[in-house]
Structure 1
Amino acid sequence: DLLALCRAAGQLVTSGHIVSGGSTLSMQLARLIEPRDNRSLGSKLKQMLRAIQIERRLSKQEILERYLTLAPYGGNLEGVRAASLAY
């Protein structure tokens, strides 16, 4: 989401610290699959490219399922049971 990334970058420049993020769910999934060593522009670009690959290969439903399976929920809790995703 280019608009969200530009907004977040503008907030960083004007405030001097991170105010909000601009990552899409696909980018967050990419980060969970391949954790970055540091927070750099290069790492963010790699995450963006990986998110594009994810979106080309998976449906929105599959992206959401994989994100919910890997996302941390505080403490030692991770993921949501697949049965709870049924409509």
Structure 2
Amino acid sequence: MNHARTILGDTRQRFFASIQRYALLTIEQLVDVARDQQRFSPRSRAAALRHIVARAPIEVTLGRPFAARRRLVRKHFGV
């Protein structure tokens, strides 16, 4: 059995670094990042949206799977 570690590609490493970078922001700051198409790259905005979806209250997400939660959160926050 080969248990060699998988090395992430450069693009994926940058995406996960973006996720880490936005971990300490408030939800209001994350919404600002996700909305601002001029200052932030699509990768940064996607990372911010991921945190928004994770932190959104159950009243917004309704306990749905991730893709459905993301749609509900985008509609609720206007992202």
TM surpasses 0.5: no
TM-score (norm 2): 0.31
TM-score (norm 1): 0.29
